[in-house]
Every structure is written in C-alpha cells, then in structure tokens.
Amino acid sequence: MRALWLWGGAAGAAIGALAGGFAVAQESPESLLPPGFDTPAPAETTATPAPLPTAAPIAPAAPRPAQPLPSDTGATDAPAVPTTLPPVSQLTDDELRDLPSLEELEALTTDELDDLFGLKPKYDIPPAARRSLAKVGVISRDEGGFPAASLSKQPASLVRAVLSATKTPLVSRWGHILMRRALASRLGTPDGMSPVEFATLRARALNAMGEYAVARALIQDVDSGNWSPDLANAAVTAFIAEEDPVGVCPYVRFQGAPDAQGARAAQWTMISAICDAYAGESVRASSQLDRALNDEIAPAIDVLLARRFAGAAGRGQRAVSIEWDGVERLSPWRFALANAVGEPIPEALLQTVSPRIARAGATAPMVPLAQRADFAARAGAEGIFSAQALIDIYSEIYSNTAIGGELGERARGLRSAYLATDVAGRVDAMEGLWNEAASAGEVDAYWSRVLTSYAAARVPASEGEVSRAGDLIASMLAAGLDRDALDWKPLVEEGSYGWALLTLVDPDGGVVGSTGLDAFADNDPSDESRKSQFLIAGLSGLQRIGATDRTAFEERLSMNMARNTRWVRMIERAAEVNNPAMVALLVGLGIQGNDWAQMTPLHLYHMTAALSAVGLEAEARMIAAEAVARG
C-alpha cells in the first residue's frame, strides 16, 4: 500500500528545513496602527486673537496651490515633474540621439507615450478606495471562516512549506471542503511573510484543487496594483479556467505582463493584445496578434482564438475562421476561449478533456448542459460541487426535452427517486443510479451517492428497507445529512455496513465494543480489509475504541498507527496548540492524491484525532465515514 503523501523529495526537504515551532492561535488581532497613532492627541488650546486694526484694510491673501493628499504609502501616484526642464544645450549627444522625432511621437499610442514619459500610474484606484492587505480572503469568521489571526503568529517557513507542497486535488470530498474553507478564510499574514505572497500561495493551492472560482475571488481581494508577478501568474490560471482572461487586464494595462517562459510567455503576449482590444487600442491589438501568428509563438489555433476573443470587443477586428484540423488535444486556453466566444469544439477533442479542464467546465455556464453533466460528476465527487448544485443540473436536464439518451434517463431516474409512489420504488430508482455509475466507471461512483443524498433522506427508516440501509446512509452522509441518517440507528444490525457508518458519525456514541467490530471485519468485502482498517483508524482518532481492542485489531488487520513521520509530528503539534486553521491545512496536505488507494489508516487516524482536538469533530466524523464508504 502506497502512502498518500511521501515525505521525500523537494516537499520533504522543505518541511524538514522548517525552523521554529507553532504558535497558539490568537483570537484578538493586534492594533494595525503605527506606534503613537492609537494615542489621542492632546486637545488644542485656542488663544484669543488680538483685535485687528480697522484703519488700514487687509489685503486678501494670495491663494495657496492645492496640495495632493498623501497616499497610505507616503507617495502620490503622480510622477515627480521638475518645475523647469533643462535646456537642450545641456543635453549630451547620447541623450539627444535618444529623443524620438516628431513623426515617431505621432505614431505612438497613448500607452506608449505614458511609458516613454513615465506617466503611467501603478493603478487607477483612488487612495480612499484601496483595500488594506492586513486581512485577505473571501469569508470572514462570521460567515464560517477561520479566525483572522489563526496564522498570524505562525512561522512563515512552516506556512510557506505547507501551502507550496499542496499541488494536487484531494481524495476526500469532506477534506476538500475543509481545505477550501481554510484557504478562502479572511486571514492575517503569518509573521515574516508578505500579504501578497500569502495570497499567492493560497491561490495556487486553490487552483491545484480545481477551485478556480474561489481562487479568482481571493485574488480579486488584492488590488491589482499590489499584485506580484507570481500572483499575476496564479491569476491567469484562475481567470482562464473561468473563461475570463480580461480579468487580469487591470494588472496588464498598468504594470505590464510579467516575465515568463514558454507557453506562459505566449499566453501573456496574447492576453496583452486582448486587453489592448478591450481598452480601445484595436490597431495595436491586431498588430500584436498578427506578429504572434507570424512568429509562431504558440500554435495557430491558440492565436486565432485570441483574435476571435479580441474581436468580440467590437472595435473593428477582422473576422476570424477557426479551423480545428490538426489539433490533437484540448488545452485549458483552447477550451476557455472557444466556450467564451461560442465556438463549437469537435466531439473528438472533447474526449481528450483532462481532469483539470473538467473541473473548470463544471462551473462554466456557457458549456452545453449535457457536457456539463459529465464534468459535474467529478466536481460532485471531489467536493467542488455541493449536492444541491449537482441536483440542480439534473433538474435542468429533466426539464429540457431536447436532451435524451443516458442523461435523460438518469434525470428521470432521479425524479423517480424523489416522487415514486411507493418507498420501494424510490429506493429502486436510487439503486439504479448507483449501479449505473459503478458499471460505467465514471470517475468515481461516489458522485451518484451525492446526487441521491436528499432523496435518500426522504426515505423513512423502516424494517422493509433495512437491508439497503447501508447504501442509503452512505448517500445521506455524502451531503452531511447525519441527523437523517441516525434515524436508522435502532434498526441496523450490529456489525453491518450501515452500523459502521452510524457508529462513526454519531456525536453521542460511546466506546464501541468488539462484537460489532468483529462482525464487520469478518464480512468486509474490500481489498485488504481497507474498510475495516479505516473504521478502526477513525474510531481510534475519535477515541471511541478501547486500547485493548485497538491493539488487537491493529495486529489482526496488519495496521501500524504508531509510525512517526514529519507530517504526523506537525499535525500533532498543531492540535496541541489548538490551531484549527493549521490543522485544516495539514489535513489538506496529507490527503492529496487521485485515488483512495493512496489513503492510509495512519493518515486517517491522525487527521481525525487532530480535528477532534481543535473542535472540528464534525468534520473528523464525516471524513472517517467517507473513508469507510469509499475505501
């Protein structure tokens, strides 16, 4: 069995090189004002002025020139202009040769003139409207996020290493949801790290998870004038995935494209031209794209799609014909721009869609509904889509009579799961959806459990359906409907599949005896008894199993939850200092992978234990139950 995260290579070296320990999470933020600014100024005393003489009239004072208001950085946006220019006679020969001629000046665009004379500001947001970088994020604590000061006192090297090493999607739907919540929270910056770097690392991690919409929202919480080249590159990934390359234009127009290599450099060149087109510089945009096509900086299809997108600005761009002949694969750029301009993508290329494109396509409203349904399966299983969002897609499919075939049949099956006249018929409809997903091998049949979650919650607990209670309970828990699932607790047989799931999610459950655990392990159909391993690991982390039974089952199931690793030491330490945000980030780091076969009981045990210790027991229970359901 392969561990979910192998602590070797560059990531392991980065973690091993961390200096310093954890700091206890700080509930109340420190004052952001400089020393002295939070001390009230002494009250001014006003002396009674002497009466002015009336004999001689007072000449009116000369008007004072208006002074620019200082910005929060201590500098104004306007470049310093000398009051008197040096005479031409004082210029050197080299300076004279560098002066452009009148014809050259007339040929320059407004942007080029601004660059030449240093007139281009960093950005066009008035000082009063600029946002503080003290806290960056999408959701505050009142909205479900983590406390703002959660990471403020943590070592920058630790936070940097954890976020930098989060480079792939997560195998757990509930782990994904928890990680997204941590990354999107409105947080203060760790000591020793700049706010822009912190935002960049979080945006990269969100992009790696397929959470492009959240990454874009996080990036937009930073004024474009404060973007670094690294944040701009993270922004390009998110904005292209969201079919919105124009979103980075404020940065491009005021700061210019950052230095890049290879395909990324070509993308910046094409985006710069697109931004020029939408800024009214249609001639310049056409010239740039013509040059890009002639210089072959990118495949012709990429430049032609950029030209079509620029032409949508309606500024005199030429008509563009898109030819897909010879295109062998669909890249994120091609998928995004083709959908943005309404260019049909050949069916053969749609068969080459990568998981990364599928995650982006699931949330793209311009993608045809039937195609989005295929992408939504992955998004639902991974946690990008909520259960309600997945159900909404199939509701639209049902109402669209033009969509037939398997998708139409699936939508009708979901409707029967809700509205069949008898309970058995509703459960039959759900079972049909589960079996179809499993036989088709579509990503992971778990998405079908998410799809039927609310329909399963409508099935009353009864002896008549107790034989199928395990699958109904697994479906409810996929959407977090644990209270509905617990209605089955008096009916499920001890040691059954449904009993194991309810044992993990029951917030009032006590220590579990060995009788039910023995029965479950004896009838475990999973490879290498993985479901039993995850059940023991989850109960151990939740402290719901006795020490003697735990030792016995570890030996019986060939488990070793005592092994010590760098990740284990870190998550234990984060739990010791009661830092929920850091525990959540470490859970996300340790649960990376593309398959549940990469998950180990060791990881599950320490995740559930740490989450429970910092007050996130509900999340711990859901992750443990999901492991048993999908193991």
pLDDT-derived band of residue 443, with 50, 70 and 90 as boundaries? low
CA-to-CA distance for 399 and 411, rounded, in angstroms?
Answer: 9
Condensed to tens digits (0 to 9), the pLDDT of residues 250-306 reads: 999 888 888 878 888 999 999 999 999 998 888 889 999 999 999 999 999 999 999
Contact 249, 277 (CB under 8 A): no
**H, E, C per residue of 564-617:** CCHHHHHHHHHHHCCCHHHHHHHHHHHCECCCHHHCCHHHHHHHHHHHHHCCCH
pLDDT-derived band of residue 14, with 50, 70 and 90 as boundaries? very low
- pLDDT for 112 equals 60
Q: For residue 229, what are the CA distances in angstroms to 78, 125, 273, 475, 518?
A: 23, 19, 18, 44, 57
Between vectors from CA 413 to CA 409 and to CA 414, what angle results, nearest 5°? 120
- pLDDT for 440 equals 74
- Helices within 71-109 (DSSP H only): 93-98, 102-107
Condensed to tens digits (0 to 9), the pLDDT of residues 67-96 reads: 443 434 433 444 444 445 556 556 666 655
Contact 557, 529 (CB under 8 A): yes
CA neighbours closer than 13 Å in the CB half-sphere of residue 21? 9
CA-to-CA distance for 619 and 609, rounded, in angstroms?
Answer: 11
- pLDDT for 106 equals 60
CB-based burial, 252-267: b 16+ in 10 Å, e otherwise: bbbbebbebeeeeebb
Condensed to tens digits (0 to 9), the pLDDT of residues 145-182 reads: 999 999 999 999 999 999 999 999 999 999 999 999 99
Contact 533, 6 (CB under 8 A): no
Contact 157, 190 (CB under 8 A): no
Contact 136, 187 (CB under 8 A): yes
Instruction: Write the single-letter amino acid at 169.
Output: P
Greatest Cα-to-Cα distance within the chain, rounded to the nearest angstrom: 113
Residue 538 has which token pair?
């989850």
Residue 359: other Cβ atoms inside 10 A: 22
Q: What percent of the chain has pLDDT over 70?
A: 79
Q: For residue 83, what are the CA distances in angstroms to 86, 486, 595?
A: 10, 79, 68
Residue with tokens 């009353």: 460
CA-to-CA distance for 344 and 339, rounded, in angstroms?
Answer: 7
- Say which residues have a Cβ less than 8 Å from residue 5's Cβ, sequence separation at least 6: 11, 567, 589, 590, 591, 592, 593, 603
- Say which residues have a Cβ less than 8 Å from residue 115's Cβ, sequence separation at least 6: none
Condensed to tens digits (0 to 9), the pLDDT of residues 50-75 reads: 444 444 444 444 444 444 434 344 33
CA-to-CA distance for 463 and 486, rounded, in angstroms?
Answer: 15
- pLDDT for 317 equals 57
Q: Please state the pTM of the whole predicted model.
A: 0.82
Contact 410, 436 (CB under 8 A): yes
- pLDDT for 107 equals 61
Between vectors from CA 283 to CA 277 and to CA 284, what angle results, nearest 5°? 70
Residue 21: other Cβ atoms inside 10 A: 12
Contact 207, 199 (CB under 8 A): no
- pLDDT for 3 equals 42
